[in-house]
A and B are shown apart, each in its own frame.
Chain A
Amino acid sequence: KAGVTQTPRYLIKTRGQQVTLSCSPISGHRSVSWYQQTPGQGLQFLFEYFSETQRNKGNFPGRFSGRQFSNSRSEMNVSTLELGDSALYLCASSSVPGREGAPLHFGNGTRLTVT
């Protein structure tokens, strides 16, 4: 079974631009969540999608948004990029529905650098 796939692996953008990151979950997994990882703030939850609906959202500004498609693939978008958005963005999928505490399976992440 293929793992969680994130594209692209690396991205360099300029302040003020917007960016879209993609995540394909493990086949059969319907829950996708996103995390931001920085040296200063560590790992922080961005949002979670299940069956195309946002289930949960972390404490991030409205510039951070996401969506999930009918095939469970997910995208996250960051508009008006700031230098502080430079981070590793991790996507994870799980075999929910209904099974709380199901382990997350992570992708290799997208390294975003904002200059």
Chain B
Amino acid sequence: AQTVTQSQPEMSVQEAETVTLSCTYDTSESDYYLFWYKQPPSRQMILVIRQEAYKQQNATENRFSVNFQKAAKSFSLKISDSQLGDAAMYFCAYVTSGSRLTFGEGTQLTVNP
């Protein structure tokens, strides 16, 4: 079974500092995609960043970057220069095909002013 594990239920960071959220996954597939989504209190899931497993280069999106270690099945998210608006629940997710995502349990990120 495919599983996604986020070992940090809660994290906090000072505004303007850097924080890293952890994610590991388990799969026997060689071709897959990984995502980080954030869910603010508005409830809408918002895509933060996407990584294709066949690409060795780590994805980046402005202040957000990932550390993708395929052999270790690890996919951590680094948020640089944290802003108050980054406060949200962050979900790591995995998919092999279609829209059937497997999500982790989530990490609640608090940004302190």
Please report A residues at the B interface, Cβ cutoff 8 Å: 31, 33, 35, 42-43, 45, 48, 50, 55-56, 58, 88, 90, 92, 94, 96, 100-109, 111
Contact = CB atoms under 8 A, between A and B. Distances in A.
Given A88-B43, A92-B45, 12 more contacts: A31-B99, A42-B103, A43-B91, A45-B102, A48-B99, A50-B98, A55-B98, A96-B99, A102-B99, A103-B47, A106-B46, A108-B44
Contacts of B98: 31, 33, 48, 50, 55-56, 96, 100
Contacts of B103: 42-43
A91 B96 CA distance: 19
Contact of B33 (A33, A42, A92, A101): A101
Interface residues of B, number: 25
B44 A56 contact: no
A108 B101 contact: no
Contact of B100 (A42, A48, A88, A109): A48
A106 B99 contact: no
Interface of B: 32-33, 35, 37, 42-47, 50, 52, 91, 95-106
Contacts of B50: 101, 103
A107 B44 contact: yes
B106 to A, nearest CB: 7
Given A101-B33, A101-B95, A103-B50, A45 B43 contact: no
A45 B101 contact: yes
